[in-house]
């Protein structure tokens, strides 16, 4: 529905309209999943409500008996005690962290919509109560400007009931908002937003553009603007180009409704296979990557509402009702959120955290989402072979340092005493001799004629391997690009070019 850049802007609050639409779609989708899980456990409630809802839908279609059908639906909900059953359903899944997080997100978006509804309808009491609920989130997310000013604003507004009754009654009469349309409901906006719209219209149409620095010219325009507007309206009426006013809210047109329903259905089909309201999982995880969140971050995320309410209560007690200065420095809550799980940790190549096999598997699992770490660790046994000896295809890396190989072979214990060899297993008593074939050839350079070198070479190998169970004659292979000798020369030469 949105690109990654748009999603980032929505999360940061740079797009108000898109953010509102995105949260509404997500909220409706979560409500669908939540009710599906609820009705799956209570099929009797589903059947009763479905019958009443179908009756109301048919009444709305025929536009007959709508009031009676609505009253019947409300009576069915009251008889089923639906609110209590929903509360019991939430309490039953209190140990599921993903269930609790989804319900917390739904409550947060509903609070935001209550504040929006209070402004659009001009409901002063709902405006103050919803703003007070939103204030706890300002504290927990470290929005200090709002966290310090809004509690004082709410307290001063409530004081108007005693200090200035006339202003309080005016606000109760919807005068704290501006009505943009007298015919269409739910279109009121805040005073600051109305002023911004007026400034945009004045500057965007070229009206006061370029004359704001000239007081006399700006005053002339403000004096004649109403008369110019009257003349323009009369001219439009004369030629029959009168403005056609809307008769319904812009969110109720068919195109907007279809687009919103399609977005909800698309998101629902993505998450219905892993319904977080029905999954019996005791871990918090990311929905798309299935990455498990640590317990410390999980406790911090699920405690956002509680910590925000306590921080706000402490602020009101100390700075609104107490003697502490309102503008004193405020410390951050530093809540650990979902982004804390994406924190990158840079490790050195030879650190202890990167040398173990398990840590290597964790790094691979983090970079590759297709790897099932649980299946790998449960099916395959950890090997004692050092991983740096093997290539990705399973073959062994060639040895590139002859001197180190010889040193390792010379340090092997080959003079074992007879007493110690009695108790050793048979596999440790087998011995093997590794002979450098080129060195044996160099020893036979004095043998003449050359035809006798073959028999002399075999006799030399047999004499050297008389006390060993096995013998291996190794020659350097110069046909490959990475031979033992060539690699040793490259290492010794370094960056020098001959």
Say if CB 134 and CB 115 are below 8 A apart: yes
CA distance 388 to 397: 8
Per the omega criterion (within 30 degrees of 0), is the bond before 449 cis? yes
Residue segments in the chain with a per-residue pLDDT below the cut of 50:
354, 418-422, 424, 427-428, 495-498
Go through 70-81 and write b for each residue having 16 or more CB atoms within 10 A of its CB, e for each that does not: eebbeebeeebe
Give the H/E segment covering residue 242: none
Say if CB 487 and CB 398 are below 8 A apart: yes
275 closest CA partner among 93, 23, 32: 32
Would you give the DSSP letter of residue 496?
-
CA distance 235 to 278: 64
Query: How far apart, in Å, do the first and last CA atoms of the chain sit?
Result: 62
Phi first, then psi, for residue 472 (nearest 5°) are -130, 125
Phi first, then psi, for residue 177 (nearest 5°) are -130, 170
Q: Exposed/middle/buried for 37, CB within 10 Å: 0-12, 13-18, 19+?
A: middle
- Per-residue pLDDT of 224-239, as tens digits, reads 877 877 887 788 788 8
Q: Which residues pair with 473 in a beta bridge?
A: 435
Say if CB 329 and CB 147 are below 8 A apart: no
CA distance 31 to 419: 79
Give me the half-sphere count of Cα atoms (radius 13 Å) on the Cβ side of residue 431. 12
pTM over cut 0.85: no
What's the confidence (pLDDT) of residue 27? Answer: 95
CA distance 147 to 24: 25
């Amino acid at each position: 529905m949105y690109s990654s850049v748009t999603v980032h802007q929505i999360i940061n609050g740079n797009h108000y309209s898109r953010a509102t639409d995105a949260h509404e779609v997500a909220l409706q989708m979560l409500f669908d999943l939540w009710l599906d899980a609820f009705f799956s456990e209570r099929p009797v409630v589903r059947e009763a409500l479905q019958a009443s809802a179908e009756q109301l839908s048919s009444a709305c279609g025929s536009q007959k008996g709508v009031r009676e059908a609505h009253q019947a639906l409300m009576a069915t909900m009251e008889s089923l005690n639906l609110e209590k059953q929903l509360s019991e359903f939430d309490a039953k899944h209190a140990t599921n962290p993903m269930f609790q997080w989804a319900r917390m997100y739904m409550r947060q978006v509903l609070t935001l919509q209550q504040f929006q509804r209070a402004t659009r309808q001009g409901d002063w009491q709902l405006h103050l109560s919803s703003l007070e609920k939103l204030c706890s989130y300002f504290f927990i997310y470290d929005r200090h400007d709002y966290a310090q000013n809004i509690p004082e604003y709410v307290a001063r507004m409530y004081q108007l009931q005693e200090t200035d009754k006339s202003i309080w009654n005016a606000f109760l009469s919807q005068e704290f908002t501006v009505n943009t349309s007298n015919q269409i409901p739910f279109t009121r906006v805040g005073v600051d937003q109305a002023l911004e719209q007026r400034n945009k219209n004045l500057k965007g149409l070229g009206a006061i553009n370029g004359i704001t620095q000239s007081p006399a010219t700006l005053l002339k325009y403000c004096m004649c603007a109403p008369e110019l507007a009257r003349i323009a309206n009369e001219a439009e009426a004369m030629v029959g180009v009168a403005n056609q006013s809307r008769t319904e809210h812009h969110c109720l047109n068919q195109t907007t409704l279809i687009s919103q329903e399609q977005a909800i259905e698309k998101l629902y089909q993505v998450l219905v296979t892993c319904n977080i309201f029905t999954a019996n999982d005791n871990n918090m995880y990311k929905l798309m990557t299935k990455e498990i969140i640590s317990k410390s971050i999980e406790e911090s995320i699920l405690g956002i509402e509680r910590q925000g309410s306590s921080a706000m209560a402490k602020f009101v007690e100390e700075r609104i009702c107490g003697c502490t200065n309102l503008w004193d420095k405020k410390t951050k809550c530093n809540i650990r959120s979902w982004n804390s799980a994406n924190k990158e940790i840079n490790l050195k190549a030879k650190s202890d955290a990167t040398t173990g096999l398990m840590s290597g598997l964790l790094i691979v699992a983090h970079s590759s989402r297709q790897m099932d770490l649980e299946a790998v660790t449960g099916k395959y046994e950890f090997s004692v072979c050092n991983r740096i000896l093997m290539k990705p295809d399973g073959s062994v890396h060639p040895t590139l340092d002859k001197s180190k190989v010889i040193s390792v072979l010379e340090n092997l214990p080959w003079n074992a005493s007879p007493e110690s060899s009695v108790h050793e297993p048979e596999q440790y008593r087998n011995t093997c001799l590794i002979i450098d074939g080129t060195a044996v050839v160099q020893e036979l350079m004095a043998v003449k004629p050359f035809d006798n070198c073959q028999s002399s070479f075999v006799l030399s190998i047999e004499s050297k391997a008389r006390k060993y169970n096995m013998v291996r004659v190794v020659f350097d292979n110069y046909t490959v690009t990475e031979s033992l000798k060539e690699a040793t020369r490259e290492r010794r030469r370094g960056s020098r070019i001959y």
